[in-house]
């Protein structure tokens, strides 16, 4: 194996609120929606945040999406979702919701009613995964990926664990169905763990540092941030210098033009205008369906 070189450590932009429920850092920073992160689009990470008990669950009300997938990973707390295609679900720590917006849905994302009533910590990540042009208008789909169905592998000589949410790791296969070849690995490392990961040649790879401290050679990153690597090479090597949480994302780049506006991600400006028009005409579902 030849090691990929670290090309940059991207500092996390300041956190901002999504609705009143999620205080997130956009970890892809200036790379979001660019070819370097394809087939992924952006990653919002909400570090643990304490919420007071509330009769009204915090979150984000009905809004549309078209042309990509939203992947929600819950670390702490409980998130409840409902969409105009008739899907609904509640996910807790370790669970993942993989929603294919495809041709278009309206959905809402809140803390669960029970969790809001109790109050407490909420931490989650939301990853946006692009769809290839040929699948941008597929029928919406909703996959609830419960923690118990996600293969968890021992790595780094027993000093770490890797959960295969999507794609593969060795012989293990992640439960989430995807439209293109990609891997989502949820990784925890103990201080002192040394990790070598094989990466398919030609794939983009991104290491999102959620907490802790990692070193790649002489370079170090701590807190939250995004590590990017050279195209050449077929492995990455990390060392944890504290207890660390990572999301390792890799996949075949789509190499297609990207046009994005708010909640829509298409291939051209004309398709964005069509998405806005279809949303206004109620073709992605209607607000009344949430009444
Ligand atoms: Mn959404």
Cα 109 to averaged position of ligand 1 atoms, centre (Å) = 7
Residue 215 pLDDT greater than 60, yes or no: yes
Q: What is residue 231's predicted lDDT score, i.e. its pLDDT?
A: 93
pLDDT in tens, 249-275: 999 999 999 999 999 999 999 999 999
pLDDT at 279 over 60: yes
Whole-number Å distance, alpha carbon 272 to ligand 1 midpoint, is 17
Give how far Cα 242 sits from Cα of 22, 132, 133, 197, Å: 26, 38, 41, 19
The pLDDT value recorded for residue 286 is 76
The half-sphere exposure of 151 on its side-chain side, counting CA atoms within 13 A, is: 18
102-138 confidence digits (pLDDT tens): 999 999 999 999 999 999 999 999 999 999 999 999 9
Q: How confident is the model at residue 289 (pLDDT cuts 50, 70, 90)?
A: low
Cβ within 8 Å of residue 273, ≥6 positions away? none
Torsion of CA 163, 168, 169, 174, to 10 degrees: 20
Per-residue pLDDT, 291: 53
**CA 124 from chain center: how many Å?**
9
**pLDDT band with cut points at 50, 70 and 90 for residue 94:** very high
Residue 198 · residue 234 · CB < 8 Å: yes
148: left (phi over 0), alpha (psi -120 to 50) or beta: alpha
CA 284–ligand 1 middle distance (angstroms): 13
Q: State the distance from the centre of ligand 1 to the C-alpha of 19, rounded, in angstroms.
A: 10
Q: pLDDT at residue 288 above 90?
A: no
| 212 CA → ligand 1 middle, Å | 28
Q: Which two tokens stand for residue 151?
A: 């293969």
Say what the pLDDT of residue 86 is. Answer: 86
Q: Average pLDDT in the 171-198 region?
A: 98
Model confidence band, residue 24 (pLDDT cutoffs 50, 70, 90) = very high
Q: Tokens 């999620």 — which residue?
A: 22
Write down the pLDDT at residue 258: 98
pTM of the model: 0.97
The per-residue pLDDT of the chain, averaged, comes to 96
């Amino acid at each position: 194996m030849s090691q990929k070189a670290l090309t940059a450590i991207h500092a996390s932009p300041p956190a901002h609120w999504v609705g009143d429920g999620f205080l997130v850092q956009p970890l892809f920073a200036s790379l979001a929606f660019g070819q370097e992160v394809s087939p992924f689009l952006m990653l919002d990470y909400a570090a643990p945040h304490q919420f007071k008990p509330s009769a009204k669950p915090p979150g984000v009300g009905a809004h549309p999406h078209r042309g990509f997938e939203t992947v929600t990973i819950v670390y702490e707390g409980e998130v409840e979702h409902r969409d105009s295609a008739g899907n609904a679900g509640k996910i807790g720590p370790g669970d993942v919701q993989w929603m294919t917006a495809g041709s278009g849905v309206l959905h809402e994302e809140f803390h669960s009613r029970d969790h809001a009533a109790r109050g407490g910590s909420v931490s989650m990540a939301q990853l946006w995964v692009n769809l290839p042009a040929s699948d941008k208008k597929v029928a919406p789909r909703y996959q609830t990926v419960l923690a118990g169905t996600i293969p968890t592998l021992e790595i780094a000589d027993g000093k770490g664990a890797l959960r295969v949410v999507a794609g593969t790791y060795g012989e293990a296969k992640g439960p989430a169905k995807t439209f293109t070849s990609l891997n989502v690995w949820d990784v925890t490392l103990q201080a002192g763990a040394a990790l070598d990961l094989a990466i398919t040649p030609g794939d983009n790879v991104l290491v999102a540092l959620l907490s802790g401290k990692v070193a790649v050679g002489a370079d170090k990153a701590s807190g939250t941030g995004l590590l990017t690597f050279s195209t050449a090479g077929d492995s990455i090597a990390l060392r944890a210098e504290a207890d660390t949480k990572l999301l390792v994302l890799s996949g075949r780049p789509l190499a297609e033009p990207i046009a994005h506006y708010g909640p829509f991600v298409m291939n051209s400006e004309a398709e964005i205008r069509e998405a806005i028009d279809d949303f206004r005409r109620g073709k992605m579902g209607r607000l009344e369906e949430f009444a």
